[in-house]
Structure 1
Amino acid sequence: MRYFITGTAGFIGFHLARRLLEDGHEVLGFDGMTPYYSLRLKEARNAGLAQFPAFRPVIGMLEDKSLLDKSVEDFKPDVLIHLAAQAGVRYSLENPKAYLDSNLIGSWNILEIARNYGVGHLMLASTSSVYGANPDIPFRETDRADEPLTFYAATKKATELMAHSYAHLYKLPITGFRFFTVYGPWGRPDMALFKFVKAMIEDREIEIYGEGKMSRDFTYIDDLVNSIIDLSKVYPGEDNRVAGIDTLSHQAPFRVVNIGGGQPSGLIDFVETIERIMGKPAKRKMLPMQKGDVPRTFASPDLLVALTGRKPEIGLEEGVKAFVQWYLDHRHEID
């Protein structure tokens, strides 16, 4: 099959594209190569994908609709997976316009392109941040998600709503998936695991927010990729409606699905896992919760399991060990 993926120089897009290429599919990767974090890391990911003859890279911004149009028209994808976005909860407090341009205007361009070129299945990345500080656990897709705590979360929720309207108006099959704290090799330098491991190797303090009382439903990257590929084969429609727990719209071929294992870990447990694997204690600096942070995330995987037959299962010990080994092997290439 032919997959058009936005954000292939990013953490998740890189892993997804590589898996699909390994499985014999064709991938056109669209990425803006923005300097939000290390371009060396993004270039290294792109170089890994370039080893596959079936990979076609396009460098461009989501706001450049003419380039998106030309890329899709030439490639004629079966599935369009939209992962590119301005990421980062905390950065959205500093530069909200970047989120407006990429996450709203860029996502609207993707919706327009999907309808104009008759893409068979459009898949959109959302986030657990849309749940805000939801007091009900685990977070279920049928819960209200109308109280975002950051502009980043608001743009992701807005993208879901825009997508529903397009699914209804143009009968465009769309699946949105909500990620829960994804981690693993080739991860983002602004994420906790990358920052903690780097600081410990350099014998610096690690900053633990919320006095370490927060918890997260960590999702290892390989599990996430499995779930995205599984869901890409489940076109939203009445033939696969799941009674009682589904978000499948009654007006459109549209649904949202959590991708998380439903096994949250405390932040201190996370730090202790890193310490155990690295064989040294961290220098801990305890800090209050940052503006926009939520105390916990906790996915209900029930809908994901009903649709695909499985959920994320890789444990923190195995996942952190894989990241640490990758970082030790590659740090001189990407730092």
Structure 2
Amino acid sequence: MASRYPKVLVTGAAGFIGAALADALMARGQSVIGIDNLNDYYAVQLKRDRLSQLAARHGDRFTFLELDFADTAALDQDLSGHEFDAIVHLGAQAGVRYSLQNPHAYVRSNLSGHVNMLELGRARQTPHLVYASSSSVYGGNEKLPFAVEDRTDHPVSLYAATKRADELMSETYAHLFRLPQTGLRFFTVYGPWGRPDMALWKFTERLLAGRPIEVFNNGQMQRDFTYIDDIIAGVIACLDRPPADDGAAKPGGSTKPHAVYNIGNNRSEKLMRMIEVLEEACGRKAELSMLPMQSGDVPATYADITAIARDTGYAPTTPIEVGIPRFVEWYRSYTGQ
């Protein structure tokens, strides 16, 4: 499908979702300017390997800038000679548990950095800015599945609070400056080239090494595991469909150009079922270390995707029985295990 946006700026381009998105955009003929500060929250070599793959596959369609988007002066200076037609802002300080240890990293990247991207979009009069939010905004919501209309005013981690704040700041910019935006509440994303701090990577690493897997809340956990290819299809579908604008900044108006969607698999899998599928894919049994719930975590996530399906046709197709073996195959190849 041809896009109205020939060149897209992607933040977090060395990250899991960012690199996959850049690859998919360029595969359909678009050019990408990718920015990432290559921080050491997890192995920098994995980020560099993703970037090397993008450069090898797409050549001069891909421009990479090592840049911290939370640094206002550097952002303005490094992008001054670059034109782009849309922004997909995926860069952020990720991780619920790490936000308990290093809160200032979240304030800098997720709050100051988000404002910088809003200001960039405003200054460039960008026709569409898609940004990453998170299912963490639902906090300890016990109503399943989570719907975009549900209350999100009781975050249980600083990470969640910053992501909800991003949505509110985006709402303000859409209202005041008519900056078209789409916020995506990602659920648990997994697949090849995934993040080492995520459960699937940790479990696979430990299982193949013969080490115990740490299972929190004594295994009474559920997650809406969503395969990376399904996520990327949804992000692109949203990018291609900016929200409508009635053209007037009216107090209390409901048609400001800002949409917020859940993007998940619309299935909530029990953690113990995920471990069973992983054991089958690895060909061995896991030793389980059952532990209590961790601070800032929630027992269940489950995405109601009615809105994004209605507006974009988003329809995830990959169950964990297919996606987990694909991840294990990639993991073995990448790590040599």
Whether the 8 Å contact between 2:245 and 2:256 is mirrored in structure 1 is no
The number of equivalent residue pairs is: 325
- 1:6 aligned residue: 11
- 1:16 aligned residue: 21
Question: 1:249: Cα distance to partner?
Answer: 6.5
Q: In the TM superposition, what are the counterparts of 1:1-335 in structure 2 within 5 Å?
A: 1-51=6-56, 52=58, 53-237=60-244, 250=254, 252-332=256-336
Root-mean-square deviation (CA, aligned residues, Å) is 1.5
Whether the 8 Å contact between 1:72 and 1:117 is mirrored in structure 2 is no
Matches of 2:80 and 2:317, distance apart in 1: 38
Whether the 8 Å contact between 1:73 and 1:117 is mirrored in structure 2 is no
Q: Aligned in 2, Cα 1:305/1:251: closer, same or farther, shift over 3 Å?
A: closer
Comparing 24-33 with 64-73, which one deviates more in the overlay?
A: 64-73
For 2:128, the aligned partner's letter is H
Whether the 8 Å contact between 2:175 and 2:257 is mirrored in structure 1 is yes
Deviations 1:224-283 (A, max 9, x none): 0000000011111169xxxxxxxx971521110000121110000000010011111001
For 2:118, the aligned partner's letter is L
Q: Aligned in 2, Cα 1:249/1:23: closer, same or farther, shift over 3 Å?
A: farther
Whether the 8 Å contact between 1:249 and 1:255 is mirrored in structure 2 is no
Q: Secondary structure at the match of 1:162?
A: helix
Structure 1 unaligned residues grouped into runs of 5+? 240-247
Matches of 1:158 and 1:318, distance apart in 2: 35
For 1:280, the aligned partner's letter is R
Whether the 8 Å contact between 2:245 and 2:255 is mirrored in structure 1 is no
**TM-score normalised by structure 1 residue count:** 0.94
Q: Secondary structure at the match of 1:75?
A: coil
For 1:169, the aligned partner's letter is L
Q: Secondary structure at the match of 1:330?
A: helix
Matches of 2:212 and 2:91, distance apart in 1: 32
Instruction: Give the % identical residues.
Output: 45
Structure 2 unaligned residues grouped into runs of 5+? 1-5, 247-251
Question: 1:134: Cα distance to partner?
Answer: 0.8
Matches of 2:82 and 2:260, distance apart in 1: 27
For 2:12, the aligned partner's letter is G
Q: Secondary structure at the match of 1:28?
A: strand
